[in-house]
Structure 1
C-alpha cells in the first residue's frame, strides 16, 4: 500500500463556463472532459498538466460542500488528491494515526474513481483526498 502520485488539485469555482476559458486561453490547457457527480452535488471539468490533473468544481446546489466552501472562502484551491493502489488501507493507516476521516468508506467520485476525504482539522488545514480507479 502506498500513495502513487498527486492525482489532481481540486479548485472550487462559481461557474465552469466562466472558469474554463481562463485555463484554456490564458494557460493553454485543454478541457479533457466535464462530468456531473450527483453524490457530491458538483459538476467537474478536468485539465491535464503533466502527470497531474486540475479539477474545477462547480456546486450544483446551495447545500453542496463546494457551495459552502465558496461561501466561506471564495473561489480557489479546495483539496489535494493522492492516487493510491489501496484506498481502504490508506484510510486505515490515516485513522490509526489519529486522522479524522470524512469518509470512513470510499464513495463514487469523478472519473470512475473511488474517493475518500480526510478532515482538514486533522491534516494541518489541507482537505486531503485519496482516490483509486475502480
Structure 2
C-alpha cells in the first residue's frame, strides 16, 4: 500500500547552489547519503517544524555514467522523480506495473538513507513521470 509521498527528487550538477534557495523556502538540510547503485549523492531537506511533510531530495551525479548524468544531459536540472513510501515494495511494483508503469529496476536496491530499499518505475504517457517506491526497514 502507498503510505504517502516520501520526497520529491530534484536533479542538479550543483547541489550546493540550492542551499540558499531551499533555506529561503523554510527548509533545513536534515540528512544526506549515497545511493551507490545509481552513483548519486543525495541531500534531504525538510521543514523542521513539520517532520511528517515530504522532503526535497537533491540528487547529483557521482560519476560520468550515472543515470542522473544522462537525465541532466537530456532534460537539464529540475524535477527528477516523485518518491512514494510503501509498506510492501514488491507488491506495489507489481500493482503499478498492472496499471501501466514500466519497471526501471529489475530488483530493489539500497537507497541513500539507512534501511531504505527502492525501485524506480516510469510512466511515459501522459506525463513522462519517474516514480521511486521507497520501503524502510522496521526500526
TM-score greater than 0.5 by the shorter chain: yes
Distance 1:52 1:13 in 2: 19
CA displacement at 1:104 relative to structure 2: 3.0
CA displacement at 1:120 relative to structure 2: 3.3
For residue 64 of structure 2, what is the aligned residue in structure 1? Answer: 62
For residue 108 of structure 1, what is the aligned residue in structure 2? Answer: 110
Distance 1:33 1:98 in 2: 33
For residue 128 of structure 1, what is the aligned residue in structure 2? Answer: 131
Distance 1:80 1:34 in 2: 17
Distance 1:48 1:119 in 2: 25
Distance 2:31 2:5 in 1: 19
Q: Retained in 1: the 8 A contact 2:100–2:123?
A: no
For residue 18 of structure 2, what is the aligned residue in structure 1? Answer: 19
SS of 1:119 mapped into structure 2: strand
TM-score, length of structure 1 as denominator length: 0.90
Name stretches of at least 5 consecutive residues in structure 2 with no aligned partner. Answer: none
Distance 1:115 1:122 in 2: 22
SS of 1:110 mapped into structure 2: coil
TM-score, length of structure 2 as denominator length: 0.87
Q: How many residues align?
A: 132
CA displacement at 1:99 relative to structure 2: 2.4
- Given candidates 26, 30, 33, the residue that maps to 2:31 is 33
Task: Encode CA deviations 1:37-94: one digit per residue, 9 max, x unaligned.
Answer: 2211111110113411000001111211111111111110100011000111001112
For residue 8 of structure 2, what is the aligned residue in structure 1? Answer: 9
Q: Pairwise CA RMSD of aligned residues?
A: 1.6
Greater shift in the superposed pair: 3-12 or 13-22: 13-22
Name stretches of at least 5 consecutive residues in structure 1 with no aligned partner. Answer: none
Greater shift in the superposed pair: 56-65 or 114-123: 114-123
CA displacement at 1:123 relative to structure 2: 6.9
